Amino acid sequence: DQQVKQNSPSLSVQEGRISILNCDYTNSMFDYFLWYKKYPAEGPTFLISISSIKDKNEDGRFTVFLNKSAKHLSLHIVPSQPGDSAVYFCAASSNTGNQFYFGTGTSLTVIP
Amino acid sequence: DGGITQSPKYLFRKEGQNVTLSCEQNLNHDAMYWYRQDPGQGLRLIYYSQIVNDFQKGDIAEGYSVSREKKESFPLTVTSAQKNPTAFYLCASSTSQNRGSDYGYTFGSGTRLTVV
């Protein structure tokens, strides 16, 4: 059973606008979350993280929001750039867990 | 520079043959992982290892085997028992205990395995 879900397989956004990628999780024990970016035929690269003691973390154009009560997190990219076009995975882990659980990914296309 | 290296990048195998994918890291990470990516399915965990000489099955371990004789190395063997081995394989490593600012996975660049 998928513990981390990304319900939008794809998203298209105009350059300069905001991209919002969503992620839902089912396990209330998850307390640490990551976003990864992946280009075709390459390994994912770390983008941004957030722990459950926060509800927001910002790094340049990237902001992650965490809503623990809704078991939902989102990644905001502002402004979106063509180089942001990639597949984005969210991942979650718990303090007692041994691994991260990954969503199925959202393919973002930023249109110039 | 520290990193995690997977080789080869592309691999072709005949049906019925075993093949071993290499994964080496010089990050001094304790934990290492193997994931498989199929189109539309995200990353699925095959095996992981938190310390040398110990490893655990992930969600889709059937048809795969691993070893962890050295901290730096975690090779994955795709055996002939794996019914659908064509996929993109990713190796990752992490500091398993410390949840500091660098907590999370570092991934290799992947190996594309094709069974012909």
Three-class HEC string of chain B? CCCEEEECCEEEECCCCCEEEEEEECCCCCEEEEEEECCCCCEEEEEEEEECCEEEECCCCCCEEECCCECCECCEEECCCCCCCCEEEEEEEECCCCCCCCCCCEECCCEEEEEC
> Which residue, among B21, B18, B19, B24, has the nearest Cα to B4 in the 3D structure?
B24
Chain B hits for A105, CB-CB cut-off 8 Å, are 42
Chain B hits for A92, CB-CB cut-off 8 Å, are none
Residue B98 pLDDT: 52
How much of chain B exceeds pLDDT 70, in percent?
A: 91
Pair A111, A15: CB distance under 8 Å? yes
Between residues A88 and A94, which one has the greater pLDDT? A88
3-state DSSP assignment of residue B68: coil
3-state DSSP assignment of residue A83: helix
Q: Chain B contact for A43, CB < 8 A?
A: yes
Please judge whether B103 and A100 are an interchain contact, meaning their C-beta atoms are less than 8 angstroms apart: no
Residue B101 pLDDT exceeds 70? no
Q: Chain A contact for B108, CB < 8 A?
A: yes
Q: pLDDT digits over A12-60, tens only? A: 999 999 999 999 999 999 999 999 999 988 889 999 999 999 999 999 9
Number of H helices, E strands in chain A: 0, 11
Q: pLDDT digits over B72-90, tens only? A: 999 999 998 888 899 999 9
**Which one of A9, A43, A49 has the shortest CB-CB distance to B104?**
A49
How much of chain B exceeds pLDDT 90, in percent?
A: 65
What is the distance in angstroms between the CA of the first residue and the CA of the last residue of chain B?
Answer: 36
How much of chain A exceeds pLDDT 70, in percent?
A: 97
Determine the average pLDDT of the residues in B31-48. Answer: 89
Residue B2 pLDDT exceeds 80? no
Instruction: Read off the pLDDT band of B96 (50, 70, 90).
Output: low
Chain A hits for B7, CB-CB cut-off 8 Å, are none
3-state DSSP assignment of residue B58: coil
**Token code pair at residue B113:** 């395995």
Element (H, E) at B4: strand B4-7
**Which one of A9, A42, A44 has the shortest CB-CB distance to B40?**
A9
